[in-house]
Chains A and B, each alone.
Chain A
Amino acid sequence: MLQNLVLIVVIVLAVFILMRLTAGDPARMSTPVFASDEILQTYREQFGTDKPLTAQLWDFVSGLPKGDFGTSFRYQEPVFSLIWQRVPETLLLAFTALVLALVFALIVGIAGARWPGSWIDRFGIAASTFGQSAPTFWIGLMLVLIFSVNLGWFPAVGFTGWKSLVLPAIAVALAVMPADLRVIRASMMDALNQDYIRTARAFGVSEARITLFYALRNAALPLVTVVGIDLGYLLGGTIVTEVVFNYPGVGQLAIDSVNARDYPVIQAITILTAMVFVFVNLVIDLLYMALDPRIRIEA
Chain B
Amino acid sequence: MDTVHDSKLNELRAALSAGQLGRRDFLKQATALGLSLSGAIGLLARWGASPVAAQDAPSGTLVIANAEPPTSAQWDSYTVFGLVDAQVASLVHDSLLGYDSVDGTIVGHLATAWEMTSPTTMQLTLREGVTFHDGAPVTAEDVKATLDRAGDPEGGMAWHGLIFPAMSVNIIDATTIEVVTEAVFGPLEKSLAVAPIFPAADIANPEIFKERAIGAGPYKWVSYTENKVTMEANTEYWGGAPGIQTVVFDYIQDANARISALLAGQADIITRCSSEQLDRVSGDDNYYVVDAPPLTQIVCIYQNRDNLASKEVRQALAFAIDRQAIVDGILMGVGKVPYSAIATNAPGYQEQPERFDYNPDKARELLAAAGFEDNLTLTMATTTLVPHQKEIDQAIAQFLEDVGISVDITTLEVGAFRTSYNQYDLTLNTLASFNYDPDFTLGFYAGATAEAVWSLNDPAIQPLIDAQRQASGDDRLAKINEMAAYLWDQQPTLYLSDELWPFIVSSKVQNYERVPVVGEPLLRFATKSE
Contacts and interface: CB of A to CB of B under 8 A. Distances in A.
Interface of A: 22-25, 28-39, 42, 72-77, 85-86, 141, 144-145, 148-149, 152, 155-158, 243-246, 248, 252, 255-256, 258-259, 261
A75 B73 contact: yes
A245 B448 contact: no
B257 A156 contact: yes
Chain A binding site: helix, strand, loop or mixed by DSSP?
loop
A80 B2 CA distance: 55
Contact of A33 (B226, B415, B429): B429
Contact of A157 (B261, B414, B420): B261
B253 A255 contact: yes
Contact of A141 (B71, B73, B79, B256): B256
B413 A38 contact: no
Contacts of B261: 156-158, 246
B72 interface: yes
A22 B415 contact: yes
B525 interface: no
B226 A28 contact: no
B253 A246 contact: yes
Contacts of B452: 36-37
Interface in B404-461: 412-416, 418-421, 429-432, 444, 448-449, 452-453
Contacts of B72: 30, 73-76
Contacts of B449: 34, 36
A172 to B, nearest CB: 16
B156 interface: yes
A75 B267 CA distance: 23
Chain B binding site: helix, strand, loop or mixed by DSSP?
mixed
A85 B226 contact: yes
Given A25-B419, A30-B72, A157-B252, A152 B264 contact: yes
Given A73-B72, A156-B263, A157-B261, A246 B252 contact: yes
Interface string B148-163: 0000000010100110
A115 B210 CA distance: 63
Interface of B: 69, 71-74, 79, 81, 156, 158, 161-162, 210, 225-227, 250, 252-254, 256-257, 260-261, 263-267, 301, 412-416, 418-421, 429-432, 444, 448-449, 452-453
Given A37-B452, A255-B253, A158 B73 contact: no
Given A24-B415, A148-B263, 10 more contacts: A24-B419, A39-B158, A42-B156, A72-B73, A141-B256, A144-B264, A157-B267, A243-B253, A246-B261, A259-B414
A156 B270 CA distance: 14
A155 B254 contact: no
B322 to A, nearest CB: 25
Nearest to B414: A259
B71 to A, nearest CB: 5
Nearest to B427: A33
B264 A156 contact: yes
Given A155-B266, A156-B263, A248-B227, A22 B414 contact: no
B501 to A, nearest CB: 16
Contacts of A36: 161, 448-449, 452
Contact of A31 (B158, B416, B430): B158
B330 to A, nearest CB: 21
Contact of A156 (B225, B260, B412): B260
A32 B253 contact: no
A145 B156 contact: no
23 contacts: A23-B415, A24-B413, A24-B419, A29-B415, A32-B81, A33-B429, A33-B453, A34-B449, A36-B448, A36-B449, A73-B72, A74-B72, A75-B72, A75-B73, A76-B72, A86-B226, A141-B256, A144-B256, A148-B264, A157-B264, A243-B257, A246-B252, A256-B69
Contacts of B254: 243-244, 246
B427 to A, nearest CB: 9
Contact of A145 (B260, B420, B421): B260
Contacts of B444: 34
B81 A33 contact: no
B413 A77 contact: no
Most chain A C-beta atoms within 10 Å of own C-beta, residue among B254, B265, B431, B448:
B254
A23 B264 contact: no
Contacts of B453: 33-34
Most chain B C-beta atoms within 10 Å of own C-beta, residue among A22, A25, A37, A76:
A76
Given A33-B431, A157-B252, A244 B257 contact: yes
Nearest to B158: A39
Most chain B C-beta atoms within 10 Å of own C-beta, residue among A145, A149, A255:
A149
A244 B161 CA distance: 40
A31 B419 CA distance: 11
Nearest to A249: B226
A222 B429 CA distance: 53
Given A22-B415, A28-B419, A73-B72, A157 B210 contact: no
